[in-house]
Amino acid sequence: MSNGNHSSNTVWHQATVTRHRREQLNQHKSVIIWFTGLSGSGKSTLAHAIEERLHQHACRTYVFDGDNVRHGLCADLDFSDADRSENIRRIGEMAKLFIDAGVIALTAFISPFKADRALVKNLVNDDDFIEVYCQCDLSVCEDRDVKGLYKKARAGEIGDFTGISSPYEAPESADLVIRTDTQSLEESIQAVLDLLVARKIINKM
């Protein structure tokens, strides 16, 4: 885990191609859209659906999906509290680079701890971070359970499982709360797109 230190011999290089110039080329602003919620709450489904809609309108995007990231960048981490925090720290740093590249970075992570989400938000300017809470009753998440993870957690086969044996600290002031157990996918997509238009990240579609 990084302790935040770096070599005294490293110096940040200021590029001539800036974020502002990249945004001008893309004709939209860059931002981190951080989807948080329980496993099965629909974070990945929503993030990828929004990316598809944005891509159709020529926006430059990338989805950081929790499972996908753990196949590579974070393959060395487990699901202990410390490694969960390190997982989110790494994603935060990557997402920060992507918004500098002029990309709309969508992240789909349980990210159960408020302190970890705050750490990512503090890496960037306030306008660069949009927290979307995919709120869904635990019982609904368990009914969906497409990966069979809740059943394994209930049976004691998986330790440190959020919502069962590990806590989820819900956002108290998310930029957007979507009830993914009652709102349709299309309603959820539109709510996020409307917020992006209101924040002047994208033009009205």
Residue 43 belongs to domain with CATH number: 3.40.50.300
What is the DSSP-derived secondary structure letter of residue 162?
A: B
**In what helix (H) or strand (E) does residue 4 lie, and over which residues does it extend?**
none
What is the DSSP-derived secondary structure letter of residue 166?
A: B
Q: What is the pLDDT of residue 33?
A: 98
The answer to whether position 204 is within a domain reads no
The residues assigned a catalytic role are: 111
Ranges of the chain whose pLDDT falls below 50: 1-3
Q: What is the pLDDT of residue 4?
A: 54
The answer to whether position 7 is within a domain reads no
- The β-bridge partners of 131 are 34
Q: Which domain holds residue 140?
A: 19-198
The answer to whether position 8 is within a domain reads no
Q: Which residues contact 121 (CB under 8 A, 6 or more apart)?
A: 34, 129, 131
Q: Please write the tens of the pLDDT for every residue from 94-135.
A: 999 999 999 999 999 999 999 999 999 999 999 999 999 999
Q: Between helices 81-100 and 114-123, what is the axis angle to 10°?
A: 20
The answer to whether position 10 is within a domain reads no
The answer to whether position 11 is within a domain reads no
Q: What is the pLDDT of residue 2?
A: 44
Residue 202 token pair: 């994208």
The answer to whether position 40 is within a domain reads yes
When divided into structural domains, the chain yields a total of: 1
Alpha-carbon span 18 to 20, nearest angstrom = 5
